[in-house]
Structure 1
Amino acid sequence: MTPDDQVHGLSPQVMYEQFWLKEADQRRKMRMVKAAAGLVVGILLAYRFDLPAPPAVGLAAGLLVAGADMFWAWYSYEATAVWRGRRRGEVITGKLLRRKLRRLGYQVLDGRAVPGQASIDHLVIGPGGIWVVDNEAWDPETEIARYGDRLFLGEKYGTKVAKALVDASDSLAQVLSRESGIPVTIEPLLAVHGGRLRRTVTAEGLTLLKPRLVARWIVRGPRAEFDESQVELLARTAARVLRRMS
């Protein structure tokens, strides 16, 4: 059986994991080469700047390089965990939102169905406004970018993804405004797990960013000024009118 036969029919996620395991020996060999280079550079720098115990300095530099390389390899692999189905993006983002926003007076509702629209992973309501936050995962090679006014996910347009969240946010804003008596607007955000995204991309009414940046974006970009009673009323109204997803 040829290597092509072995991978034929496998999902991209399974193929990624198999290649990752096969390349483990090569990564270890390259790590040893990098550590050796770090050792030599450390010794040379120690002699150059008259540092004590050049061999010890070189050894420390080599170990530091090896440790950094090991961490980067682990981080790169872990960044694909949601895409590979090993972790759930909504769980990761939900924990980050609660840890960073609750103490600031924000409330987070998870897994809600917007009437007539798609379900949403998180609804954030707080002093600065209201945000819909969803989660998506792409493979490590998918570049997420804006060109002109269009959103691109790799070589494909991201219009369908953006429109679904923008429409859900607009529909929910109408429902909450009507049911609570408080005029609201809602900003849609998409927490991106995997893919190639520098920091944030805003296009076609949607902002895409890494999960760890979502709470910071919300705090730094208020859209409204709600007092504590309004936040409570909006949260209760949302909990009442939005069906919780199982």
Structure 2
Amino acid sequence: MRRERVAARGRIARVAAALTAEPQSTMAWDQGAKGEERVGARLDRLREHGVGILHDRKIPGRGNIDHLAVTTGGVWVIDTKRYKGRPALKVEGGLLRPRTEHLTVGGRDRDKLVAGVQSQVDHVRRALGDVPVTGALCFVTAEWPLIGGAFVARGIQVLPPRQLVKTITRSPAGPVDVAATMHLLDRHFRPA
């Protein structure tokens, strides 16, 4: 994963990094990578149940997909985040105004995260055609309640790691050929 690429840069780069103060963006990136590794380890255990797993895949042009999980019921596009605070769905409007849904974490607007996963889902749908694709935002260090807490924001599942794994394994079976879909995903989304 990302940490391995940093380690592979060589001794001089690691020494230079050790002697200079890390910018905040580097520390945030490192924290995000740790969250991805934790979720990745949980997802890897699903291979025993016939789930295909791909990690850290490039989106043509820019960006990456943290994790892809392939079941006979479809594909899960998973974006891992390390945010403090409680994720919540804020709903506005309804009777007289159009209903709108907003993701907040710790009271702060995080709609861009939902839009990011929606974009990733769109890329995967274009690559796969008729295969069902579900997007998920997995918050690793958020303040989740002991029971429940997961919700759907504008079509994207928002949940903690333990519920992500349960939701994937309990999703209905379908006609998706896991091996063929994995091959197609690997061809369209190369390792980052």
Following the alignment from structure 1 to structure 2, what is the Cα–Cα distance between the partners of residues 216 and 210? 10
> Which residues of structure 1 form unaligned runs of 5+?
1-10, 15-81, 178-182
1:196 aligns with 2:139: no
Cα deviation 1:159-180 (Å, max 9, x = unaligned): 1100110111112111122xxx
CA contact (8 A) 1:83 1:194 kept: no
3-state DSSP of counterpart to 1:122: strand
Deviation of the 1:96 alpha carbon: 0.7
| Aligned mate of 2:109, from 136, 154, 157 | 157
Moved over 6 A (4+): none
Alignment TM-score, normalising by the size of structure 1 = 0.57
Distance 1:87 1:169, change over 3 A: closer
Paired residues in the alignment total 156
1:132 aligns with 2:77: yes
Which residue of structure 2 aligns with residue 231 of structure 1?
A: 178
CA contact (8 A) 1:83 1:137 kept: no
Distance 1:152 1:240, change over 3 A: same
Distance 1:103 1:226, change over 3 A: farther
Which residue of structure 2 aligns with residue 208 of structure 1?
A: 158
| Aligned mate of 1:172, from 116, 124, 135 | 124
Distance 1:126 1:86, change over 3 A: closer
Following the alignment from structure 1 to structure 2, what is the Cα–Cα distance between the partners of residues 126 and 168? 18
Deviation of the 1:83 alpha carbon: 9.6
1:98 aligns with 2:48: no
Following the alignment from structure 1 to structure 2, what is the Cα–Cα distance between the partners of residues 170 and 87? 24
Which residue of structure 2 aligns with residue 146 of structure 1?
A: 89
CA contact (8 A) 1:118 1:164 kept: no
Counting aligned pairs with the same residue, the percent is: 27
Following the alignment from structure 2 to structure 1, what is the Cα–Cα distance between the partners of residues 63 and 105? 20
Which structure has the bigger radius of gyration?
A: 1
Following the alignment from structure 1 to structure 2, what is the Cα–Cα distance between the partners of residues 104 and 128? 13
RMSD: 2.5
3-state DSSP of counterpart to 1:225: coil
Following the alignment from structure 2 to structure 1, what is the Cα–Cα distance between the partners of residues 66 and 171? 20
Alignment TM-score, normalising by the size of structure 2 = 0.72
Following the alignment from structure 1 to structure 2, what is the Cα–Cα distance between the partners of residues 117 and 176? 19
CA contact (8 A) 2:32 2:81 kept: no
Distance 1:163 1:234, change over 3 A: same
CA contact (8 A) 2:121 2:135 kept: yes
The structure, 1 or 2, with the larger RCO (C-alpha pairs under 8 Å, 6+ apart) is 2
Distance 1:85 1:174, change over 3 A: closer
Which one has the bigger helix percentage?
Answer: 1
Deviation of the 1:86 alpha carbon: 9.5
CA contact (8 A) 2:31 2:82 kept: no
Which residue of structure 2 aligns with residue 66 of structure 1?
A: none
CA contact (8 A) 2:65 2:79 kept: yes
Distance 1:86 1:175, change over 3 A: closer
Following the alignment from structure 1 to structure 2, what is the Cα–Cα distance between the partners of residues 240 and 220? 27
CA contact (8 A) 2:150 2:159 kept: yes
